[in-house]
Amino acid sequence: MKNNFIIDDNYIITFGVEIHAQLKTKTKAFSPSKNDLNAKENTNINAIDLGYPGEKPLVNKKMIEFGYRIAKVLNTKIAKQISFDRKNYHYPDLAKGFQITQYYQPIGVKGKFTIIDQKGNKKDIVISDVHLEEDTAKKIDLNNGFVGYDFNRAGIPLIEIVSDHKNFKTIEDVLNYVKQIANQLIFIEVNDGKLFKGSFRVDVNISIRNKNDKKLGTRVELKNLNSFNNIKLALETEISDQIVKIKNGEKVLKVTKKFDEKSGKTIFIRKKTSLKEYNYIPEYNIPIINLDKKSLDKFDQFKIIDTQLLRKKFIDKKYLENEIDFILSSPKIYNLYQDLLNSKIDEKKILSFLTTNLQGQFNLLKIDPLEFKLESKIISQILKLHIENKITTTKLNQFINNLFLNKDITKELFFFQKQIQFSEKELEKLIVDIINNNQELADQYTNRPERVEKFIIGQLMKISKGKANPKLATKLIKDYFLKNE
């Protein structure tokens, strides 16, 4: 990951990262409403979500299981007892006037997540705590300056992962941490890692101080950054702005901001609320929950894949960053990669296929890697045909495209599998015969090589009834004329 942004050596930047990830449960955290953001606005709502008087929360057991998976993979100290609390504040997106969260007894504390850069360097990021909570409603900007709220999102279970501010030294550290946490949550099947959808959200706190000052600078929060590129741009912008203010003797205010893509600036939202102002109190409608051995043994039946071990293995193998990112974008892509390796296909050809052909079709057809459903066996057959030069790159992409569109390629695939192409020696002999029989045209090769090659390949296809490999034939033609200059 390249980063040309240079920070003035006279200043120390402190970062704190908070990740909010929606959990992929069927129902909401504390109500029986469906957890489905694709539904029409305000259709998946319940009296509990809307904070009607007298309505009591119901705890989603799956939310606790998913929280445990996350706490475990982040190497936290997992609580034997958990409780829920009220975080009191008043915004239009919070109908109850408080958010149910975990403050006094979160599901995990004092963890560690090891990030790895593309050079293989490791850095431990200390996790302060991991806690469960509910999401708020979604603000929607309407016409003529009006604002609406979609309460389908209100009450969706969230996990908040809070990092220690002492570990991040650079913007690259922050980006690696966010990306690699997203990969890990995808692989333990609790979240889809999608910043642009808002199901995976990132807040970054930044404070800057002169290197001679021991006291931390004023903390500014950047809220809901919705892409890796925007995280990078927002951090660069805010750091530059704060340094200019400090140099000019201006005061940096403790505020919450958002990043505006159009202007490329960080914009004030509101003054930063302190912990005291939230007035945390226990949620008296939810009793303390014991995480006994029986429950944890049941949770442990899910097999956790450590994506950081995979990342380290791929870096050691000198895989490129985009190759690693795509393989770890989905367990289904990773499983396909493994199946292709087990099919004895050359590793470099697998990587090229995944990041060029397959990813290209994903982008073209707007397919989510998490929804990838193609059979590895069929993909393997198609890729082998391409490697054996029985199908062209265009045909390879067409096959993949048709599979995504649920078209039957059985007959066509069978045709290419049975096709026996001419050997290299047979092609060489045919090429020499065609050149000898068309010497006048062959003499034009120096000035018009493409015309001569096209003619010879046309003759080869005619003689071989389409069984000559055009790619190999073109190479042999070039080699012939190079030797006979």
In this structure, what token pair is assigned to residue 46?
């319940």
Q: What is the pLDDT of residues 296-318, one digit of tens each?
A: 999 999 999 999 999 999 999 99
Q: Which of 145, 226, 159 is nearest to 191 (CA)?
A: 159
SS3 label, residue 72:
helix
Band of the pLDDT at 2, cuts 50, 70, 90?
A: very low
Q: Which domains does the chain have, with CATH numbers?
A: 11-298 (no CATH), 319-416 (no CATH), 424-483 (1.10.10.410)
Q: What is the pLDDT of residues 249-293, one digit of tens each?
A: 999 999 999 999 889 999 998 887 666 788 999 999 999 999 999
Predicted confidence at residue 147, as pLDDT, reads: 92
Q: Do 322 and 359 meet the contact criterion of CB atoms below 8 Å apart?
A: no
> Max Cα separation, the chain?
96
> Chain centroid to CA 340: how far?
22
Q: Which of 466, 462, 467, 392 is nearest to 433 (CA)?
A: 462
* pLDDT at residue 1 greater than cutoff 50: no
Predicted confidence at residue 206, as pLDDT, reads: 94
Please state the φ and ψ torsions of residue 86, each to the nearest 5 degrees.
Answer: -105, 125
- Share above pLDDT 70 across residues of the chain, in percent, rounded to a whole number: 97
Residue with tokens 């090429």: 431
CA atoms within 13 A on the CB side of 330: 15
Q: Is the pTM of this model over 0.75?
A: yes
Please state the φ and ψ torsions of residue 99, each to the nearest 5 degrees.
Answer: -110, 135
Continuous segment of H or E residues that includes residue 231: helix 228-247
Predicted confidence at residue 470, as pLDDT, reads: 80
SS3 label, residue 245:
helix
Q: Do 234 and 221 meet the contact criterion of CB atoms below 8 Å apart?
A: no
Q: What is the pLDDT of residues 378-437, one digit of tens each?
A: 999 999 988 887 788 899 999 999 998 888 888 888 877 766 666 678 888 889 999 999
Strand-pair partners of 78: 108
- Cα–Cα distance between 329 and 362 in angstroms, integer? 12
Mean pLDDT of the chain: 91
Task: Tell me the angle at which helices 410-418 and 376-387 cross, rounded to the nearest 10 degrees.
Answer: 40
Residues for the chain: how many in total?
485
Q: Is 97 exposed, middle or buried (CB count within 10 Å of its CB: 0-12, 13-18, 19+)? A: exposed
Q: What is the mean pLDDT of residues 153-167?
A: 93
Using the CB atoms, write b or e for 5-14: b if 16+ within 10 Å: eebeeebbbb
Q: Is 409 exposed, middle or buried (CB count within 10 Å of its CB: 0-12, 13-18, 19+)? A: middle
Strand-pair partners of 258: 267
Q: What is the mean pLDDT of residues 169-183?
A: 95
- Cα–Cα distance between 272 and 14 in angstroms, integer? 17
* pLDDT at residue 38 greater than cutoff 50: yes
Predicted confidence at residue 64, as pLDDT, reads: 97
Predicted confidence at residue 296, as pLDDT, reads: 92
Q: Do 381 and 395 meet the contact criterion of CB atoms below 8 Å apart?
A: no
- Cα–Cα distance between 336 and 330 in angstroms, integer? 10
Q: Do 37 and 153 meet the contact criterion of CB atoms below 8 Å apart?
A: yes
Rounded alpha-carbon distances, angstroms, from residue 148 to 45, 63, 175: 15, 28, 32
Continuous segment of H or E residues that includes residue 293: helix 293-299
Which residues have CB under 8 Å from 407's CB, separation 6+? none
> Chain centroid to CA 144: how far?
35
Q: What is the pLDDT of residues 217-242, one digit of tens each?
A: 899 999 989 899 999 999 999 999 99
Band of the pLDDT at 321, cuts 50, 70, 90?
A: very high
